Copies of this chain bind each other. A is one copy, B any other.
Amino acid sequence: MGHEFAGRVLEAPRDSSLVPGQPVMVDPRLYCSSCASCQKGLTHGCEKWGFLGLSGGGGGLSEVVAVDTARLHPLPESVDFSVAALLEPLAVAWHAIKRAEITDLARAGPVLVVGGGPVGVAVVYVLKAWGASQIWVTEPSPTRRERLRGITNVVFDPAVDDVVAECRRQSQGLGVTAAFDCAGSQRGMDSAMASLCFQGKYINIAVPGEALILPNGIMLLREINMTSSFSYTDEDFQETVAAFVDGKLHGVETIVTSRIKLQDVVHQGFEQMVENRDQQLKIVVSPKL
């Protein structure tokens, strides 16, 4: 189990450039390399896609795991492994922002992030790394909103704020350029759609917990573009690791809200994520604590 993990090389094939002891981040995707999507470099669209740690083959909670060397990304010796493991959700965010195809985020106008959970916060950090000038977040949990206030300056409480009216007001009536849906709720979708500018971009990254009804009238009259973003490609992962190593993702360590021992994973890990979901973003499990 565990598909977001980093570690040290134990053994490497002779023909690889990897050496035992070297810190590496694992791109956990499994793909066939031969289907039509893989052949086009769209490996995240592989017909036989899977993830190490989710689809079998061992994962981050294993003592030792066999990984294709092509899926390993060397990290500097000084790396903090509990932060390095965040590179997987950060690659998800990286891919979503590329999927949005916004030419110049610094000049593109405000973007709205719906939901301040782990994916939402990862999106905020990647948007910052890409130079986005105005990042607004809407999040119903007070704990999560509090955390976000340290990262970005506009945080809405959908129970109190009129998100649509605020987005319009703060964008001089134009609406936001893009909305990244990291929540997958009807309420979040409706307010994000209504907050977009003409030909605005709605990027869905969430796996919704409920059936969502399309706000057709708004979509049509505003000519909204809706993009879905799933996982990431080889290139996205490489670029995310490079940005991390170059210090362009500074601050991401705040996504780690707990560090626990492997033997405590049930009570302090899984049960926490179910019972105290709002208090946590990512709980790092370590065999070394």
Indicate if the CB atoms of A204 and B228 lie closer than 8 Å. no
Contact status of A199 and B45, CB under 8 A, knowing A211-B213, A219-B204, A226-B226: yes
Q: How many copies does the complex hold?
A: 2
Contact B229 A223 (CB under 8 A): yes
State in angstroms the CA–CA spacing of A198 and B37 once bound together. 7
Instruction: List the B side residues contacting A216 at CB < 8 Å.
Output: 184, 204, 207-208, 211-212
Quick one: given A212-B214, A212-B216, A214-B213, are A223 and B99 in contact (CB under 8 Å)?
Answer: yes
| Interface residues contributed by chain A, number (CB under 8 Å) | 31
Report B-chain residues with C-beta under 8 Å of the C-beta of A223: 44-45, 99, 227-230
Contact B220 A230 (CB under 8 A): yes
Chain B residues, Cβ within 8 Å of A214: 211-214
Contact of A213 among B99, B212, B230 (CB under 8 A): B212
Contact B36 A174 (CB under 8 A): yes
With CB as the reference atom, state the residue of chain B lying closest to A207: B220
What 1/0 flags go to A203-247 for Cβ under 8 Å of B? Answer: 010011001111010011111111111100000000000000000
- Taken together as a complex, chains A and B put the C-alpha atoms of A212 and B214 apart, in Å, by 6
In the A-B complex, the 7 residue pairs with the smallest Cβ-Cβ separation, listed nearest first, are A45-B198, A226-B226, A219-B228, A212-B214, A220-B228, A223-B228, A211-B213
8 residue pairs bridging A and B, Cβ less than 8 Å apart: A36-B198, A42-B199, A211-B216, A212-B213, A214-B214, A221-B230, A225-B225, A225-B228
